[in-house]
Structure 1
Amino acid sequence: MPETIRTLPVIDLRRFAPDHSERLEALDELRQISRTIGFFYLTGHGIPQEEIDSLTALARRFFSLPEDKKLEIEMRRSPHFRGYNRAGFEYTRGSQDWREQVDFGPEREKPALKAGDQPWKRLIGPNQFPSALPELRPAVLKWIDDVTGVGLKVLQAFSEALGQKPDVFSPIYSNGPNQLLKIVRYPGRDQTESDQGVGAHKDGGFVTILLQDVVGGLQVDDGSGGWIEAPPIRGTFVVNIGELLELASNGYLKANIHRVVTPPAGGDRLSIPFFLGANLAATIPVLDLPPALAAEVRGVTQDPLNPLFREVGRNVLKSRLRSHPDVAQAHHADLLQEQQPQAESA
């Protein structure tokens, strides 16, 4: 990465429209960003500021509820890994993340499972919503729909930047993409045991669309042993590449490492990340890149402690079992026993 890059670049989504005069320049910029930092601020996304402010206000109201009202939808009640977690109940690479949060996904009926079904089908099911804040349900479901639309436009831009048709990934998401929305609050450092809000990691989907409130904390690996600060910019999202795009491009696109540090004592940080992935039943293909791009392929980075699979459902289930051991033990102890020999041999 060039040493001059010390902040995230800004991309206007409107420049990728088929009739925009700067479309080719925008695609070239996206290619360069995807080869280096893999993160950028997104403007021109079309989601009104009023909707952004409304969801942020609802998030604040949720975290202000009495603890018993939040625990009414505790994630341990959901075999689908939906609901509320107190700080310290999610893990990254075995270490506690100091944030309280509530997870939502697509609102789908729990399937009738039978012997021989793929284990990832256990992830499909309804959300949990707090009875003390009924306004949250419609706002969350609308946000998931709206930000999915933004994510698909970004995915189509990446597809074209790779010399593909814009809908090249449509066969593996059109039957229902995997969607995960988190509403997260990071308590100030005087309330935590460390500065790890979220440990260093890569995201696992196609793209992540992150809404930040007003307090920073997101840091992106600069490739030289340091971190690039990504402070909030009103009206923008922070977008980054996930491991599915790295897999599909054989490493041409870079899913970069990032982390969140807890805010200073006396304050807190609010963020709302959305993770857009492929259908759980899909298998990620390897794209046939144009010769000029294929010559620059680096191969996929593999972490022996967190192996990547091209089977989407297998990848997602593995991630949820590792991140939420209390839910895994409560609802999926049989899967943990099956995975134990793999973990010991890794």
Structure 2
Amino acid sequence: MSSFEYNGNPSRVIFGSGSIQKLPAELARQKLSSPIIVSTPEQTSHAELVRDILSKAKDGPVAAAGIYSKAAMHTPAHVTEDAVAFSKKSGADSVVSIGGGSTTGLGKAISFLSGIPHVVIPTTYAGSEVTPVLGETKDGKKTTKSDPKILPGTVIYDVDLTMSLPPGLSATSGVNAIAHAVETLYSRTTSPITNLFAIEGISALANSLPIITSTDASDVPARTAAQYGAWLCGVCLGTVGMALHHKLCHALGGSFNMPHAETHTVVLPHALAYNVAAMPDDLKARLAGALPGSDGDPVKGLNVLLTRLGVKRGLKEFGLREEDVDRAAEIATSNPYWNPRPVEREKIRELIRRAWAGEEARADL
């Protein structure tokens, strides 16, 4: 076995149906009594649910300092500045974010800049709730920072909150989570421990998402398995360095305002196809084994999975123009993240063109 380093992220996880009801006790355990509740405009009802749970708490004097429901995709800097000001004005001693990656990202930013504890209640399969990574967008460019202080202290996984997640969004959110784990397998800073998490997480999602999207969206075991898989995949992203896939998605999301989960879903098989030859054979085989229908080829396995999920495969379907491909390639190849295979501009341009056109991924670049 090769030498490696592994740094576990010390977050507390509360997992299970109905676990949102444990929020007041968790805040009381940390001697917190006045959280700001963060959501997107579309999930204000979830924020109000949290507020109501706190108002009925028997675990100590806990009451919401206020609700901030302006979280937005890619964590725009101006929204963060407004949210931090709101938090300080309300006298909040903590932040509770409920929702997907957009809400979690804003909660992270508030916590990091204000120095107050952060409790996350995910309602999608984003996975960012267990990472010390924060992506922010300013002046049309998305950048990331990593710091242990960004990592939320507690995550409450309540499968009941995912039951109303539409099948289409479940699919793209779940594939977004899979992307975290796939990139882990060829990361420069991966380890045998992280690889275990990655393969287990990918398998859980690849087997549960088709049930959720085409058989029974209210299947509790499938929803639970998907949430479990998303957690493991998120842990992977939080312990390794990002590579080509995330660089491409950050370029597309930050500069062209492409939808987050959908972009990850479209790009993932193409990024893997670019890097698959650089993966160790044993990890390539284990990844293929986690993807039903792969026949030993992980790129085929991802193509099969996306076909079964019925997701859109072309970036053009989300507003990227063909004339944007050149600029996207330029952004993605300038100051590139470390990657196991050299990042060549013309090949990356062709990769993006294929993703734009909605072609199936193939490992011939």
The alignment's TM-score, normalised by the length of structure 2, stands at: 0.27
Identify which of structures 1 and 2 has the higher relative contact order when contacts are C-alpha pairs closer than 8 Å and 6+ apart: 1
More helix by percentage: 2
The alignment's TM-score, normalised by the length of structure 1, stands at: 0.28
